[in-house]
Amino acid sequence: MTRLSVNINKVALIRNARGNDFPNLVQFAKDCERFGAQGITVHPRPDQRHIRYDDIPKLREVVTTEFNIEGNPTREFVKLVLDNPPDQVTLVPDAPNALTSDAGWDTITHADFLRKVIQEFKKKNIRVSLFVDPSEELIQGAKDVGADRIEFYTGPYAFKFEDNKEMAVGEYARCSKFAAQIGIGQNAGHDLNLRNLSFFTSRMTDLLEVSIGHALVVDALYQGLHNTIQAYLNSLDV
């Protein structure tokens, strides 16, 4: 069974638009859990345009499911994570002013850097996942530097899904089998939604978790948060 982690960045974006504390992020995270989410994901970016660094300790205190912090491991980010140890940290090579993550790690070129930073998190018993594109070589690289899991970057899958879903999923399905064989855990995220999620999940081998933000928050505007989370959980029950 694949677990659902709700990325609450977009909710922070709405809060920040008015400069006060509405909607309250802690309450939103608790409600996601109450409605069945099995994890909460946040992705603080250097400009703090959605999640702010000072949100993290408050969320760490209340999240009772899996707490996952994503981001580029700058010194500031590493300190934030070590000071508020989540269950999982997902390392993403996004540029400081990137609109959103748009590529995974080159785990070969950045092997030395990744190995060092992964060790820092492991000392605190934090599970480490690396955001990667579907490539056997890069997945092997993730395993070699000591990552516990990979998170497949599913943006290209979601984009191609509309034209040809078999073609869209092919590389991911193949790499998923490979990841299962070499014994590295698998997560996935980016641009997953109620149309493309269950097909993706059904083709993967041992997909442990998806993290979903943008589409889920948009769906919640129409259907409400409780119905939306239930709909995503149903899509994962394949």
Catalytic residue status for 110: no
Which positions lie near ligand PXP, rule CB under 6 A?
7, 9, 43, 70, 90, 92, 100-101, 131, 189-192, 211-215
Instruction: Read off the tokens for 45.
Output: 């970016």
The CB-of-213 to ligand PXP minimum distance in angstroms stands at 3
HSE-up of residue 196 (Cα within 13 Å, Cβ side): 25
Instruction: Tell me the three-class secondary structure of 198-227, residue by residue.
Output: HHHHHHCCCEEEEEECHHHHHHHHHHCHHH
Catalytic residue status for 226: no
What is the signed CA dihedral for 84, 86, 90, 93, rounded to 10 degrees?
A: 0
Instruction: Give the residue ranges of DSSP H helices in the chain.
Output: 9-18, 25-34, 55-62, 75-83, 111-123, 136-144, 155-161, 165-182, 197-203, 214-223, 225-236
Catalytic hit among 66, 70, 151, 209: 70
Residue in 22, 162, 3, 21 with CA at minimum distance from that of residue 87: 3
The CB-of-16 to ligand PXP minimum distance in angstroms stands at 15
The CB-of-221 to ligand PXP minimum distance in angstroms stands at 14
CB closer to ligand PXP out of 26 and 98 = 98
The CB-of-13 to ligand PXP minimum distance in angstroms stands at 11
CB closer to ligand PXP out of 33 and 219 = 219
Catalytic hit among 50, 66, 190, 209: 190
CB closer to ligand PXP out of 33 and 187 = 187
CB closer to ligand PXP out of 92 and 229 = 92
The CB-nearest residue to ligand PXP is 189
Catalytic residue status for 70: yes
Active site residues: 43, 70, 190
